[in-house]
């Protein structure tokens, strides 16, 4: 099952969007555009924890690598995630994402939500966010991060 959705967040702390609607069972990626400035970043990782209510239902991390300073935008795309499926798994999931390095320095963290919907609800969904656009199966964060 394919879905078209994305979140375009510049100032993540100020991004106040409703939950991103995702059809149950859909495959999706997270894509991050970022800069590395001034100093080398060693062992950069993307980590996320997924909650349904107060209960953590998933935790994952991905090694992005080590990077030297460069003026060009770097792009990282996650492995494929699959949205939960089945009537019992529909609803809102809260996600806490962050970037950390090998020394456990946290560079940025943010919270965002997805809403897993059935087929009928997905057709009637009106996702509205001032900083959103549509792209195939990718949630896009343009972070303008400066890793020092």
Q: What is the CATH number of the domain that holds 119?
A: 2.70.50.30
What local confidence, expressed as pLDDT, does residue 84 receive? Answer: 87
Domains held by the chain: number: 1
Host domain of residue 122: 12-147
Q: What is the DSSP string of 14-61?
A: G---PPEEEETT-EEEEEEEEEE-SS-EEEEEEEEEEEETTEEEEEEE
Q: How many other CB atoms are there within 10 angstroms of residue 30's CB atom?
A: 21
- Which phi and psi (to 5°) does residue 21 adopt? -75, 130
Q: Is residue 71 part of a domain?
A: yes
What local confidence, expressed as pLDDT, does residue 62 receive? Answer: 93
Q: Is residue 1 part of a domain?
A: no
CA 87 to the chain's CA centroid: 24
What local confidence, expressed as pLDDT, does residue 27 receive? Answer: 82
Q: Is residue 20 part of a domain?
A: yes
Predicted TM-score of the model (pTM): 0.73
What local confidence, expressed as pLDDT, does residue 123 receive? Answer: 59
User: Which of 138, 3, 4, 24 lies closest to 83 in space, CA to CA?
Assistant: 24
Which segments of the chain have a pLDDT < 50? 1-11, 13-14, 128-136, 144, 146, 148
Q: Is residue 6 part of a domain?
A: no
What local confidence, expressed as pLDDT, does residue 16 receive? Answer: 55
pLDDT in tens, 67-82: 888 888 888 888 888 8
DSSP SS3 for 96: strand
What local confidence, expressed as pLDDT, does residue 124 receive? Answer: 59
User: Which of 47, 96, 39, 27 lies closest to 68 in space, CA to CA?
Assistant: 39
Q: Is residue 128 part of a domain?
A: yes
Q: Is residue 107 part of a domain?
A: yes
Q: Is residue 29 part of a domain?
A: yes
Q: Is residue 103 part of a domain?
A: yes
Sign of CA dihedral 33, 35, 41, 47: negative
């Amino acid at each position: 099952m394919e879905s078209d959705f994305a979140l375009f967040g510049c100032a993540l702390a100020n991004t106040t969007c409703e939950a991103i609607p995702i059809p149950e069972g859909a495959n999706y990626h997270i894509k991050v555009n970022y800069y590395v400035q001034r100093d080398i970043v060693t062992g950069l990782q993307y980590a996320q924890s997924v909650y349904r209510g107060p209960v953590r239902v998933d935790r994952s991390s991905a090694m992005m690598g080590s990077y030297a300073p460069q003026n060009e935008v770097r792009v990282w795309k996650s492995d494929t995630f699959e949205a939960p499926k089945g009537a019992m798994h529909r609803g809102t999931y809260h996600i806490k994402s962050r970037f950390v390095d090998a020394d456990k320095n946290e560079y940025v963290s943010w919270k965002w939500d997805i809403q897993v919907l059935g087929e009928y609800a997905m057709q009637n969904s009106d996702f509205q966010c001032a900083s959103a656009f549509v792209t195939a199966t990718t949630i896009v964060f343009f972070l303008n991060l400066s890793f020092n």
